[in-house]
Structures are given as structure tokens and as C-alpha cells.
Homo-oligomer: A and B are copies of this chain.
Amino acid sequence: MQRGDGVFETTHVRGGQPWLLDEHLDRMARSAERLDLDVPARPALVELAGQACAAWPADTEGALKIVVTRGPEDTGETTCFATITAVPDSTRKARRDGVKLGTLSLGVAAGTRSAAPWLLGGAKTLSYAMNMACQRWAAAAGLDDVLWVSSDGYLLEAPTATLVWLEHGTLYTVPDSTGILSGTTVRYLLDHVGTLGWHTAKRMVRPTELEGASGVWLTSSVRGIIAVRELDGVKLADPPQTDTLRELLGYPA
């Protein structure tokens, strides 16, 4: 339990209910499989989530975190719990004003992690020390967050969010083959932007290519969708579609 050797999911809570809970629990099951970790049966996890949300006011958004971790150590058992917290003001500010990012190298080539499953790329584990260290690096540099770059120069993901960008009517994200975490929010978004007349696609992208995009955003379960207004000191477009996309995803302002 003290080795980050477990999995977690965070869902947005709206109307007193966890949003996309099934999709999050599907991903948790995939992460747990990578860790050879037994997770409780689906109904038990759904009940746990429901209990955590029961006392939460229906008119207030929240963040529900579900954790399954190995331990107590070496017993073969797992510990499971769910907690719900308020969405911080900084998140609402980011939805409104966007964020400034810098890039940091993740040290691995874009194709490495999908060929090396023991590196746990794509698994949402509790071993987030490096993710947190990168976000502290951002804060110390006066930035809001970072985007990881592969050793061969491709954008990957943020420590706790997925990258999407709009070019000529197509909304792009990064392929899962790069070892990034498969985002639940981005998947919902890609499944629904057809209503805006947009196409969707996945492709590898280098940081400088985003300078020509009509819009660049991060998606994640609690923040929803936030505009990237600056990357490595270069101003990016202020995309007029941010509110439309946020509403499509059902997040408050």
C-alpha cells in the first residue's frame, strides 16, 4: 500500500452522480490487469461510488476518486476506497482563462512504452510522484502545467490530462500507441464533436506544429476542457469554441 502499487480513477460528479463511471471502471480494470491486481467486482465498485456521492449536493460539481491498492503489504489483499472533494476555484479559472504550459521530456521515444508493457505506460497507477514533480516544476516556472515530449520530439500528454487540437475542421489527439493514458473525457469528446460538423483523427504532433492550430486544449475528468493559451512561451490562438466544447461535455463554467 505504500509503494504506489495500485490503481485509481477520478470522475466528475454532476447532479450527485459520477459521470462516465462505467468508462472509468473499464479503464481501472485495464490498469489493474497490467498490475496483476484484483479489483472488486463491478457492482461493489459502483456501490462504493454511489455511497461516496450520496451526501454530495446535486447542484455542486465534485471530484470522485476511487482507489484500489495492493496491501497491507505482502498479504495478497487489496484495499479499496472512494472519496469525494470539491472542484477547486483554480479549475474554474482555468476553464475560463485557459492555461500556460511548458514542455518537459519524458525521456522515452514515442513508440517505446507500447512495446515494453512492464513500464506501465497507459496504466493509471498510484505511482504519480513523477507526475506531481513535473507539475511542481511547472508551478516553479510560473506555468500552470506541462506537456510531456518523447525523446524523439513528439507531444505525449500532460501529467493528468490529454492533449487535443483543432486543425481545418478536424479535432486531433495523440495515438494510444505512444503509451499515453487513454483519456475518458477525450473519448467522449471525440465521440460527440460530429454534432459540430467536425472530423476526428489521431496523429503524432511536434510542439511547434501547434502554433498553427485553430485551438489547443487539455481534457481531463475534473477540469473538463481548458484552452492552452501558451506553450513554451509562444502564444496560441484563443479558440472561440472553448465554451461550446465545455457545454458539449456538460461542465459548468
Q: A34 touches which one: B107, B133, B151 (CB < 8 A)?
A: B133
Within 8 A of B (CB), among A22-73: 34-36, 65, 67, 69-70, 73
A199 within 8 A of B: no
Contact partners of A85 in chain B: CB under 8 A: 73
Bound form: Cα–Cα A6–B6 in Å: 15
- Whether A127 touches B4, Cβ cut-off 8 Å, given contacts A108-B108, A116-B104, A119-B106, is yes
Partner of A2, one of B67, B137, B151: B67
In the assembled complex, which residues on chain B have CB atoms less than 8 Å from the CB atom of A35?
129, 132-133
CB-CB under 8 A from A3, the residues of chain B are 4, 126-129, 131-132
Return the CB mask of A187-199 against B: 1 if under 8 Å, else 0: 0000000000000
Determine the interface band of chain A, counting residues with CB < 8 A from chain B: 35 or more
The answer for the CA separation of A65 and B2 in the assembled complex, in Å, is: 10
A184 contacts chain B at the CB level, 8 A cutoff: no
Task: Report if A107-B108 is in contact (Cβ < 8 Å); known contacts: A4-B3, A126-B3.
Answer: yes
Q: Does A246 contact B (CB under 8 A)?
A: no
Let me know if A109 is at the binding interface, CB within 8 A. yes
Minimal Cβ-Cβ distance residue in B for A159: B118
